[in-house]
Amino acid sequence: MNDKIKKQYEARAKIIKAMAHPSRLFIIDELAKGEHCVCELRDMIGADISTVSKHLSVMKDAGIVEFEKRGLQVWYHLKVPCILNFFGCVEDVMKTNAKMAKQVLK
């Protein structure tokens, strides 16, 4: 694998790693419905503000979300909503796995 291809796979891995936490997946789903301030996300997740901010920071660094400061609040939204297409693919894999598991149990 040459350096250019390796860097491309590393960039992909960074994005996938940034989503690889249940709270982050939840945040992405919520942001798909519209923008939210950190305090709203904190209340929805039930974690402290620093934990939610860390999750958002990881996703921001990966290019998944971006923010806008309004007064004292920070509002987040999806930077590239097509990330939700990836979720559809993941759901398809989950359905296929469930079908296979049912067949094995028969």
Q: In what order do the strands lie in the sheet with 36-37?
A: 36-37, 73-78, 65-70
CA 22 to chain centre: 9
> What six digits make up the tokens of 84?
């939700």
Is residue 92 included in any domain, yes or no?
A: no
Domain assignment of residue 10, given as a range: 3-80
Number of domains in the chain: 1
Token couple for 65: 């979300």
In a domain, 87, yes or no: no
Which CATH number fits the domain that encloses residue 50? 1.10.10.10
Q: What is the pLDDT of residue 1?
A: 87
pTM comes to 0.86
Q: Is the pLDDT of residue 106 over 80?
A: no
In the prediction, which pLDDT does 99 show?
86
DSSP-derived letter for residue 74 is E
pLDDT tens digit sequence for 41-97: 999 999 999 999 999 999 999 999 999 999 999 999 999 999 988 888 889 999 999
Largest interatomic CA distance in the chain: 59
- Any domain includes 29: yes
State the Rg of the chain over Cα: 17
pLDDT digits (tens, 9 = 90+) for 6-23: 999 999 999 999 999 999
